[in-house]
Structure formats: structure tokens, C-alpha cells
A and B are shown apart, each in its own frame.
Chain A
Amino acid sequence: MAEVTYVEAIRSAMEEEMRRDDRVLLMGEDVGAKGGVFGATAGLFQEFGEERVIDSPLAEAAIVGVAIGCALAGLRPVAEIQFLDFIPPAMDQIISEAAKIRYRSNNDWNCPMVIRAPCGGGVHVHGALYHSQSLEALFAHVPGLKVVMPSTPRDAKGLLLAAIRDPDPVCFFEHKALYRSLREEVPEGEYVVPIGKGRVVREGRDLSCITYGATVHEAATAAERLASQGIQVEVIDLRSVRPLDRDLIVSSARKTGKVLVAHEANLALGVGAEVAAIVAEECFQQLDAPVMRLGGPEIPAIPFAESLAEVYCLGPDKIEAKLRELAAY
């Protein structure tokens, strides 16, 4: 088994699936000869040609709308939006069209497609307001969509294979800080992770930290630090935010009785609110503390200057402090 980065895992998932299934084709800005601005499609244009790896005009609604048309005509398109921040022009196509095609046609049509987009702040350079956002809650609100946010190279590969094979539209949001910062062994060939199943990153009996995406790693660091002080934190990686793994959320909350939900996206009206509501509805009798949440403050996105960005971003320290507060409750 080869050790690969997160972005290489994504690339290899597409490559393997294109070799296996000739219905799969790619489209997006710079996905061709350049191989994508983050290299997620590197080499695929050279291997599969311009009819299968399509350099689109600079038009996000068209990237998604044309992909929908391909899906309606029997293909399995993977559309890349260069940054999730630039997806709003395609929202009509995603929300009004892709998400509703099966329902509105009473199951006569369906729309099997993947919309890939890098999201989140970077490691050293956060990208500022328009290269850093985590907009998953906008999509997670919409019945008909699935929203996947992998946190590891293994999951990136396994979930992307599942997304391409899914009969319905899947939003696949890749945290760009993970692209090259992580490396792990990823199975070659057939390795599919089902959409909608979360993962226990580390077990713990005292507190639950429910999270997803890059925040999983920050939470794991915080949990590691607390473990050395005798506080056992169970870290849950949701892996997809629609559908949510309700069973895993409920079983962990019932076990520990204390839950922190953490994500990089803005806190208010976000995914964490839905998770907190599930815990409140299903685990009220087992709770020993109010559900706590951590997320972005009430500013539009991550500012450019580091001194401003640190106000937005979570990081292990803030998560550790919140977990201590929860433990002491």
C-alpha cells in the first residue's frame, strides 16, 4: 500500500474510476493541461484526452449546468469548482436543478454527478475572504443533495469513489489545508467508503467532540493533550454532513453525556446547530451538560492578516479550552 497525500488520493480516485467506467468525465477551470490549480487532475488530460477532461470557460453556472446535462444523458460527470468561494453563480443549477431532478420528475430522471470544490483556510496563507470559506451548510440544507467533507487521504479516496458511483448529486468539499499536509497509506484499487457513515477517530468515555473536515485533526490534537491529563475525549469525524450519521452522534452523546460540536464554518445556523438539535432531541436524559459549539464568529470569512485570521480560526488551543470548560461543567 502506497503512502499518498490527500490530493493524490483524490487524483487517483478519479484516475481509477475513469479507467474502470468510461461514463466518467471531468470538467472545470484549468483541469486540463495544467491539471487543476491544486493539481487534483494532474496527468488526467494527458491520459484521457480533451474529450474527457474538459477545460471549461470561466463560468461556474455552466460547469455545473453542463455537468447536469451530461448526467441526464447517461454520463457520470465530475465538475470541479476552482474554489468553493466561487460556487454562488452555480447555486441555481445546484439547488433548483440538480437537487430537484429526481423528485420533480417523480423518479423518471436522476442526476448522478459530483461537484468537487476546495474549501477552508490554508495552512500559512488563509486566502482571505474569497479563498477560504466553508459553505457546506448552504448545501446541507437542501434535500436532494449529499454533502461530503473528507478529512484524510483514505477517506478522500473512498468517499470520492462512492460519490462518483452515487445515483444522485454529491457535493464533495476538500479542505485545501489537507491537500499536501497529510500523508497516509491508501489502498489501491477498489476502496469505497459509504456516504453517511461517520468514523470514531479516537474513543473516549468523558466527552464527545463531534466534527468533520480539517477540524478533525485539530480536535484530535486537543484530545491527545487532554488524555495526558486524564480527560478521555471521543473524537467523531462525521465525514458527511448530509446525510448526518445520526446513530453515531446519538451513541457517542449517550455514552459520554457531554458533547462539543466544532467546525470551521460560521457557527450561527450551521451544521453544528443541527447536530446539537439531534443530541437535544435524542439524548436529553443522558446529558450531563448543555451541548457546546465552536465555529467561525459572526464575520463573513477568514480575514487576510494573520492577526485577524486567528480570531476566526479554531485550532487545537481553542478546542482544548472549550473541552476543558465542558469537562468542568
Chain B
Amino acid sequence: MALTESAPAEADQMSQDRLRSMYRDMVLGRLLDERILVLNRQGRAPFAISGQGHEAAQVGVGYALRRGHDWLVPYYRDLTLVLVMGMEPRDHLMAALGRAADPNSGARQMPGHYGSRAHNIVTTGSPVATQILHAVGVAQAFRYRHEDKVVVVSVGEGGTSEGDWHEGLNWAAIYHLPVIFLVENNSFAISVPQSRQMAVPHVADRAIGYGMPGVVVDGGDVMAVHEAATQAVARARRGEGPTLLEAVCVRLQSHSSDDDQRRYRTADDLAEMRRHDPVERFRIQLEASAVLADGDADEIRLECQRLIEAAQAEADKAPVPDSATALLHVYGEG
């Protein structure tokens, strides 16, 4: 297990365009997430589940992948990550409003259950950690066909208490499969703290028990996540096997729109957490290194807001699914 921190010089090694693009994706994810919560509070979106606080971890990992080539098996906090993989704000506003054009499920599932074959994002359900095994199977298929693809599968730290988590890591390590097990550890599984999920300080401590590297990274530090993910992806692509990558995040919002974390977290804890907003942190970092000039951040924010406005206008007008389609697609045709 190694604790990685981004070196200040590392930002210089990446093109400024790419850094701005990473920041832009974090902002887009954050603003879209906020918009969906507002729609929920307005009574227009029946359910919302937030990924606020996870943007740096998701962008850091997403930018380590080859888009259109590598695969993602996400979980319900990965709004920003699925945007990095190529989905659009409109896709998730369609889902939030239960529109037929929701590409994840045609409004058959609750929002936050991502999936898009066009973007190599595997369909996901609600049971926690079942997706771990699907990623291992996807990687087994890559290996069987001698493809140099990798698959990232994500889960919260609570999900690592499930049996499928154990079975998946064990299998992937035995067969040296190209999987990155991304744990977005935000310290809470709904209301249950990490100390009630495991007796070790880090999920990644368990990696040695499976025979794979375990890496803990500050999930608020996008460059540190990116560096760790890049190494894990390279290792997987070389055929050397899986990596357990734990990104320590903050959960800025409650578990879901049906939860209120003020009931089980102290005011001090919540206030302290807000000082670790990853989007703000990256903005300050990029402005300090002059990647963002004065006004750039505002401009990016405006551009993202315009995108979201246009997407919502489209979703507002879009039809709900025709009731006649409810019985379709249980089985394939013929």
C-alpha cells in the first residue's frame, strides 16, 4: 500500500488544455448534480442521488482511460465519471424527469442507474457490489480475446462489505485480469460510518490479502488520483493484473434525496467536510499555476450552465414513456 500525493510539478507535465478540460468536467458534473437536486426539491424529479464531493476522484480516473476503448462498470455516485466517458447532461436530465429518451433505462429505473452500450458503460442495478463481478467477467472476455482494454468498476466503501466484492477481487487476482477496483470512500454508507464496515483504516489494506496492489489516494486531489489511476491502468494493460484504488472522498450531500445527513453527522463534521470541496480546490490550484486566468473559471461555469439550461429545456419538452411499452424487452425478439 502506498499513499500518493500529487507533486506540484506534475500539473506542468500535462497540457494546459487538458487540465482545463478536467476542470470543466468537474464543474459540469457538479452543476448538473446541483440542478438535479433542485429539480427534486421542486417536486419535479422524484428521486436524486448525489455525487458531490467525488468529482476529483471520478475525473482523475476517467482521464486515465481511453474513451471508446476501455470500459466502465459504474455505481450510483458516478455522474461525473459517466460524463467523462461521453454521456451528456441531457441524458441525465431525461432520467431525472423520467423521460422516454433516458438512454440509461428509458425511465424504467430510478435515476443514477447508469448504463450506455454506446459509451462502454455497463448497465447497473440497485443491489450493491453485484457490479464488481460483472467487471471481472468483462475483463475475462478482454483476456480471452487478447484485447488490450481495461475495465474500471467503482463502489463505495460500504459495498466492500458485500460478498461479491470479495469474490470479485479474488477471481481477478487469480487470473491477473485487467480490472481497476475503484473505491470511492466517502466514510458513510447512508448513515453507517466506515468504522462499522471494516476494522482496518483503509479498504486498500485488504489488497495484500488478494495478491494485488492497494493504493490509497486523496480523492479530493484530482492530479493525485489521475497519477495513481494511470499507473493502475498501465499495469492492467500490460497484463500484470488488477489494482485496488481507494480514493478518499467527501460526501457533500446526503446519501439520497430521501436522506438527511444532519440527523447522524455533527455540524462540525459537516462544516469541516465542506472545506474539502474538490472542485474549489482544483480551481485554486489551477489559478495559482496560471492555467486558469482571471475570469476563466467564471467562463467555464457559464458555459456549463448554458449546456445544462439547454439540456433541461429539451428534457422539459420530451415525452414520458408510452404505457404500451411497459411490457417490451423482457426477452429478445425471435
Q: Which A positions have Cβ atoms within 8 angstroms of B?
A: 25, 51-52, 54, 56-57, 59, 61-62, 64-75, 77, 89, 92-93, 96-97, 100-110, 143-144, 146, 167-168
Contact = CB atoms under 8 A, between A and B. Distances in A.
Contact of A103 (B108, B134, B140): B108
Interface residues of B, number: 45
Contact of B171 (A25, A59, A103, A108): A59
Nearest to A100: B125
Given A93-B130, A103-B108, A168-B331, A108 B137 contact: no
B116 interface: yes
A231 B327 CA distance: 44
A59 B143 CA distance: 21
Contacts of B168: 62, 65-66
Closest A-B pairs by Cβ, 10 of them: A69-B137, A65-B133, A106-B106, A73-B141, A167-B332, A62-B167, A66-B137, A105-B123, A69-B134, A107-B329
B211 interface: no
Interface string B139-175: 1111110000000000000000001100110110011
A329 B167 CA distance: 55
Interface string B10-32: 00000000000000000000000
B109 interface: yes
Contacts, number: 138
A105 B107 CA distance: 9
B122 interface: yes
Contacts of A107: 328-329
A65 B137 contact: yes
Contact of A96 (B115, B125, B332): B125
Nearest to B143: A51
A146 B135 CA distance: 24
A135 to B, nearest CB: 20
B43 interface: no
A103 B117 CA distance: 14
B331 A102 contact: yes
Q: Which of A69, A103, A108 is most buried by chain B, counting CB atoms within 10 A of its CB?
A: A69
Contacts of A71: 137
Given A105-B105, A144-B330, A57 B170 contact: yes
A5 to B, nearest CB: 30
Contact of B138 (A57, A61, A70, A101): A70
Contacts of A101: 123
A74 B141 contact: yes
A77 B133 CA distance: 14
Nearest to B171: A62
15 contacts: A56-B171, A65-B133, A65-B134, A66-B168, A71-B137, A92-B127, A93-B133, A96-B130, A97-B125, A101-B123, A102-B332, A104-B109, A104-B113, A106-B105, A109-B123
A25 B117 CA distance: 22
Interface in B162-190: 163-164, 167-168, 170-171, 174-175
A295 B91 CA distance: 50
Contact of B329 (A62, A96, A103, A146): A103
Contacts of B122: 69, 72, 109
Nearest to B170: A57
B136 interface: yes
B123 A69 contact: no
A42 B122 CA distance: 34
B50 interface: no
B136 A104 contact: no
A227 to B, nearest CB: 39
Contact of A92 (B130, B134, B135, B175): B130
Contacts of A110: 332
A103 B138 CA distance: 20
A72 B136 contact: no
Nearest to A60: B167
A69 B330 contact: no
A75 B144 contact: yes
B58 interface: no
B273 to A, nearest CB: 32
Contacts of B140: 54, 66, 69-70
B181 to A, nearest CB: 14
A62 B140 CA distance: 12
A93 B164 CA distance: 9
